[in-house]
Amino acid sequence: MAKSKTVFVCSECGYESSKWLGKCPACNSWNSFYEQKVVETKSKGISQSDGKVAIPQSLNSYEAKETIRTHTGFNELDRVLGGGLVKGSLVLLGGEPGIGKSTLILQICDKIKGDGKVLYVSGEESAEQIKLRADRLGINNEDILFLGETNIELVNQAILNVNPKLVIIDSIQTMYSEEITAAAGSVSQVREITSQVMRVCKSKGITTIIIGHVTKEGNIAGPRVLEHMVDTVLYLEGERYFSYRILRGVKNRFGSTNEIGMFEMQDKGMCEIDNPSDILISEREDNPSGSCIVATMEGTRPLLVELQALTTQTIFGYPRRTANGIDYNRLTLLIAVLEKKAGLMLNSQDVYLNVVGGLKVNEPAADLGIMMVTASSFKNIPIPKDMIILGEVGLTGEVRRINMIEKRVKEAEKLGFKTCLIPESNKKDLKDNYKLDIIGIKDVNEAMKKIGLK
């Protein structure tokens, strides 16, 4: 008869211990151990396998089938998913409390077309609370079934009985399994529950969306293996007290992982934004100093965002640098290049930089824009309102080539910009059929002269 025992496994490196440890001796991570149930069975020889033989087949002998997708009713969400929900896939949606996860999921349940029921399993809210949200969103769909249950064994039985088209579990941290003695929400419970749901839903070809809470670091609560088990991981980002939300795909076995979708939280629920660039730069003032527009790429989509900089005389001996939406170390590096190569004395200035709209810009194509907007605020000279600035900057002050320049320039042209500063190496690759004036630059000093900052 099989014997079972409990071991503690590090969620970061997989180190096993017979007891719980606060610090992993292998990878030195803190509070990373979770309880795992292990079943010991007698090992069988190679010849004793109940007559079953595993025979490898040639990869060319298999026929690739077209992926069956279901449109969610949101073009922005379909973009992030790669075209829609894949039949039998397991999707993990994470986000901070109150960001709008349950609202978005309830709208998806209403918008999905086709035969089949939708099973909404909630361990956090009652049926009355879900019904109040549905009435507020104007949802009246007889195909949406509700189950208020936290026992995963009973949930799996309900899934088998109903055989729905889509299953929603809100949230994974509230579910528990009777096979694990740990409390609901612990890493061992989360791992076991996800494994059970995956076995049931994939065997029946049922699409499943699991909602998960995030930790204070912004990661989905639970062991890291949870994100490896699912097919798609989505994050819903944004400030709770601002209306804009960004849906970002960080893992997708059926599509790109760099796409984003933009939504706005309104009284009637999540409304998708078809043209994010127009929204992000719509409230820009006439021609202020310390402001410019750059084009950043999110997957295959170009986004025009506004950068704002403010330089003030430092009160203390050590100047302060604050970055909101870009990497702090990148900002300090670019300021050092401005001081060394452009001769700007910023060692006595506090520098504050902000990306408008709550977006995060991580690609180096915004380097030149960051430097020019900082110089504009320092000299109190505005950058022309109809100018867009693109380019990566090296430590010697040279402006280097960036990728997807055609899409960035076309987006700027569509929104009515007249001048575009780009690297000289990129200008050689562009054709001369653009309506806006394209200026190629080689270094930071040449860019400042073209703008009028030097």
Is 63 part of a structural domain of the chain? no
pLDDT at 445: 94
The last residue of one of the domains, among 251, 274, 297, is 274
Domain carrying residue 362:
279-451
pLDDT at 358: 76
Is 202 part of a structural domain of the chain? yes
pTM for this model (two decimals): 0.75
pLDDT at 217: 59
Looking at the DSSP assignment, which residues form a beta bridge with residue 233?
92, 251
Task: Give the N- to C-terminal CA distance of the chain in Å, as an integer.
Answer: 83
pLDDT at 275: 82
- Are 105 and 130 within one domain? yes
The last residue of one of the domains, among 255, 274, 293, is 274
- Are 284 and 263 within one domain? no
- Are 419 and 287 within one domain? yes
- Assess contact for 209 and 168: CB atoms under 8 A: yes
- Assess contact for 154 and 136: CB atoms under 8 A: no
Q: What is the CATH number of the domain that holds 90?
A: 3.40.50.300
Residue with the two structure tokens 């009515």: 416
Is 49 part of a structural domain of the chain? no
- Are 35 and 99 within one domain? no
Q: What is the pLDDT along the chain (454 residues), one digit of tens a residue?
A: 445 677 887 866 668 888 888 998 888 888 878 777 665 544 444 445 556 788 888 888 888 777 788 889 899 999 899 889 998 999 999 888 888 888 999 999 988 866 678 999 998 888 899 999 999 998 888 889 999 999 999 999 999 999 999 999 988 888 888 887 767 777 778 888 888 999 998 899 999 999 987 765 556 655 566 788 899 999 888 776 678 888 988 889 988 877 888 898 888 889 998 888 887 787 776 778 999 999 998 877 888 999 999 999 998 788 999 999 899 999 999 999 999 999 999 989 999 999 987 788 889 999 999 999 999 999 999 999 899 999 999 999 999 999 989 999 999 998 889 999 999 999 988 877 788 899 999 999 999 999 998 8
The last residue of one of the domains, among 258, 274, 290, is 274
Is 58 part of a structural domain of the chain? no
pLDDT at 46: 47
Is 53 part of a structural domain of the chain? no
In the chain, the number of structural domains is 3
Strands 291-298 and 301-313, sheet pairing: antiparallel
- Are 299 and 162 within one domain? no
- Are 254 and 293 within one domain? no
CA of 327: how far to CAs of 7, 102, 274, 312, in Å? Answer: 40, 31, 28, 20
- Are 127 and 269 within one domain? yes
- Are 195 and 252 within one domain? yes
